[in-house]
Chains A and B, each alone.
Chain A
Amino acid sequence: MEQIPIMKIGDCLLVSIQVDMHDRLAMSLQDELTGKVVETRARGVMIDISALEIVDSFIGRMLNNIAAMTRVLDAVTVVVGMRPAVAITLVELGLQLTGVKTALNVDGGLALIRRLIDDEEQAD
């Protein structure tokens, strides 16, 4: 069965989705990712969806769920590289993904995670 690789960079996890997401794959990614966050004690999760051309309401909700789950596990989730067409579709579907942080590309995503973690540490 196909699997989406989860890479560890420092205290961040990088998930790059390169294949079309179907619902079972999305569920297994959710499982694996939460496990990995706990296992590696990661502080940030970055999900790169620049290769995704189709995002339906299920995948949209999954992204929201992952963000909420990692927040409970004390890690921030940043979604990067969303295509314009995908963004328009999600907005038209009424999915604003208010709980998800976003960045334009992996570079911006890493900087954003760094800043968010710093902010949290300062607040503590």
Chain B
Amino acid sequence: MATAETVLLPQLIAKHRDALLNAWLDHQRAANRGGVEDQSELRDYSSRFLDSLRVAATTGQFEDITTASWAEARHVLEEVSRARVLRGETPSQTATFVFSLKGPLFDLLGRELIKDAAALAREVWIATLLLDKLGLYTVEVFQKSREEVIQRQQDELLELSTPVVTLWHGVLALPLIGTLDSNRTQVVMENLLQTIVSTGAQIAIIDITGVPTVDTLVAQHLLKTVSAARLMGADCIISGIRPQIAQTIVHLGVELNVVSKATMADAFALALRRLNKTVVDRAKPTARAAGAQPAE
């Protein structure tokens, strides 16, 4: 294969660096019409990439761009990809950064090697393989950055969607919204147990009004949470089971062996009764006498 002596690419890049850079920038601007890229930033990235490309190319390693000599070039590409992910650009717009170098580079090679067809073909082949690899790497980084963004959003959603509310001294409420999977159950459980410890609550109301479907798996997750809370010494009440969900639970043959109430209000009333508290209507004096009796 090609060795450092036979490959003219690094020398040519070094010799015509500025002309190549300008031609490349023109190509990028033409390809990315309507892009919002900062021109000075683009010039900075492009010139850094070109330099690192030249340095890496002098080592003569064109087969494998994962080696240490390509680290600087990869680093620049990663920066470009990340920046473009954050700006919400498409993968093809991102990959254009590398691929648009092909035109000016091949022009340059054609001009310089006009007398030597064999050398021209060889150099073009090496350059195209190399730029393809670098372009694919850009897309890979783009993809990875996108996944990181999605992962971070998922984590934030997970944190946001499981608040533990103190309804009364010793009574916690856990309004669940959205589907319960194993990951969420874990977060919900940890949050709930941690709050039970810190507030010393005796009763926790798990409200599943916002849970769209309850299948055997979700029911199992719910039961796990209830069991864990019980082991800590707190009782759980499940509230907000909608009629359709009640039907599904029975049809599926799921045994929900927990105290359940139709609404959060009912569950709260039960919680207060267990704590020997009553709610009194102050407008009616007679109600106070009635309220003094523990309601059955």
Contacts and interface: CB of A to CB of B under 8 A. Distances in A.
A84 B202 contact: no
B200 A104 contact: yes
- Most A CB contacts (10 A, CB to CB) among B190, B194, B231 go to B231
Contacts of A88: 186, 189-190, 193, 228
A111 to B, nearest CB: 10
B73 interface: no
Counting chain B CB atoms within 10 Å of each CB, which of A82, A88, A90, A112 scores highest? A88
B233 A91 contact: no
A104 B224 contact: no
Point out which of B189, B194, B230, B233 has the most chain A C-beta atoms below 10 A from its C-beta: B233
A82 B233 contact: yes
B230 A84 contact: no
Contacts, number: 56
Sorting the interface of chain B by its residue count into under 10, 10 to 19, 20 to 34 or 35 or more gives 10 to 19
A88 B227 CA distance: 9
B239 to A, nearest CB: 21
A102 B193 contact: no
A65 B224 CA distance: 22
Interface in B153-206: 186, 189-190, 193-194, 196-197, 200-202
A57 interface: no
B227 A103 contact: no
Nearest to B234: A104
A96 to B, nearest CB: 5
A87 B232 contact: yes
A88 B201 CA distance: 18
A83 B229 CA distance: 10
Given A82-B231, A91-B227, A104 B194 contact: no
Interface in A70-114: 79-80, 82-84, 86-88, 90-92, 96-97, 102-105, 108-109, 112
B200 A87 contact: no
Contact of A108 (B186, B189, B202, B228): B202
Contact of A84 (B194, B200, B224, B227): B194
Given A84-B190, A91-B224, A104 B197 contact: yes
A88 B224 CA distance: 8
Nearest to B229: A87
A29 to B, nearest CB: 19
A97 B231 contact: yes
Contacts of B232: 82, 84, 87, 102, 104
Given A88-B189, A88-B190, A105 B200 contact: yes
Question: Closest 3 CB pairs between A and B?
Answer: A84-B193, A103-B233, A104-B233
Interface of A: 79-80, 82-84, 86-88, 90-92, 96-97, 102-105, 108-109, 112
Given A80-B233, A88-B189, A104-B202, 9 more contacts: A83-B197, A84-B196, A84-B228, A87-B232, A88-B193, A88-B228, A91-B228, A96-B227, A103-B233
27 contacts: A79-B231, A82-B231, A82-B232, A83-B197, A84-B196, A84-B197, A84-B228, A87-B193, A87-B228, A87-B232, A88-B189, A90-B228, A90-B231, A91-B227, A96-B227, A102-B230, A102-B231, A102-B232, A102-B233, A104-B200, A104-B202, A104-B234, A105-B233, A108-B200, A108-B202, A109-B233, A112-B233
